[in-house]
Amino acid sequence: MAEHNELGVLGEGLAAEFLSSKGLLILEKNFRFRSMEIDIIARTASELIVVEVKTRTFTDMAFPRDSINIAKQKRLFNASQAYIESRRLFLSIRFDIIEISMVKGKPEINWIQDAFSPGW
């Protein structure tokens, strides 16, 4: 597995553990619909949470969240709609981002709740 893929798998595992520790129930990891993928699908009692995880080993001027453009947001929305329909869920939905920066081998986690909404 390529190093960046290993980093992504590590980040998604850390993000799932983090969300679980905050009381969210993890429903799916790496949910695929056609060519789209959702890193983590979680829920609270009343809300479905679609989570995009971005993990970096370096810091520069750009935030990891900046790589989630409108096209990516639309893919996440479409995949989440397929998930909701296939599971016949009736929950409100929220789109979150978890940024993980590996600093001296230790993860720093930034959880951005309600990072975007489908209002394009």
Fold exhibited by the domain 3-116:
Trna Endonuclease; Chain: A, domain 1 (3.40.1350)
In angstroms, how far is the first alpha carbon of the chain from the final one?
36
Q: What is the pTM of this model?
A: 0.89
Handedness of CA 68, 11, 81, 48 (dihedral sign): negative
Q: Which residue has the tokens 């949470």?
A: 49
pLDDT in single tens digits along all 120 residues of the chain: 555 578 778 899 999 999 999 999 999 999 999 999 999 999 999 999 999 999 987 655 667 777 889 999 999 999 999 999 999 998 999 999 999 988 888 999 999 999 998 765
Domain range list for the chain: 3-116
Read off the amino acid at residue 56: R
Q: Which residues pair with 43 in a beta bridge?
A: 25, 48
CB 64, CB 57: distance < 8 Å: no
- Among 103, 104, 102, smallest CA distance to 53 is for 102
